[in-house]
Structure 1
């Protein structure tokens, strides 16, 4: 299956279990893989035959920056659901959300969740 990949998107959001996270916010990163046939846009060279990744980015940005979730699992689920709902050409989607600096006394490169959903 063909795919459109949007890697390394960065956002400032207010997600987390702790009240300070919801008040102060922090940086989040997201990667999206949208699996869909790309033969038609590959042959036509028309934007309307594919997913406009600038529009898809705005959908992700609105969820990441304007909504609040306790868990990044819920955040990733909302991103996947909204993109599947908006773009019926997507057959499968993988969403990775990273929280590079979680407020815990552990030294690591952050925490991430990855979900994979298929159209029912």
Structure 2
């Protein structure tokens, strides 16, 4: 066995000892909201579709198998619904920022990514959807 082989085995041992890094994703959270630039959008309302990604990092739940040791994605959906439905924003940028800030404040995530899509945007051209994405990192 050569010295290079020993180095390779040491690298394998280090990889096996490290905990997995956890990412939690929610895709296609559909909510009826009252966001938009026009008064009609805010008054009548419309469906938004939200996608979320929370980088948790190392997480005890990978060993304990306890939801208390991770971020509960069901609870995350409830928090997002509350933020998205408790007040009206003119821009998706502001809405996504408010959601990202709340998630970082409430959960122990390293980063949060939020995407909000309007499947039926009020524009005179045919599009599948329009969307805005916001990425935030935790302080420290």
Total equivalences in the alignment: 119
TM-score, normalised with respect to structure 1: 0.94
**RCO higher in structure (CA 8 A, sep ≥6):** 1
* Partner SS, residue 32 of structure 2: strand
- Cα contact 1:14–1:65 (8 A) shared by 2: yes
Give runs of aligned pairs for residues 84-95 of structure 1, distance below 5 A: 84-87=104-107, 89-95=108-114
4+ residue segments displaced more than 4 Å = none
Task: List alignment gaps of at least 5 residues for structure 2.
Answer: 1-20
C-alpha RMSD of the superposition:
1.1
Task: List alignment gaps of at least 5 residues for structure 1.
Answer: none
TM-score, normalised with respect to structure 2: 0.81
Report whether the alignment pairs 1:100 with 2:119. yes
Q: Which residue of the partner structure matches residue 74 of structure 2?
A: 54
Separation in 2 of the partners of 1:111 and 1:85?
A: 27
Q: Which has the higher helix share?
A: 2
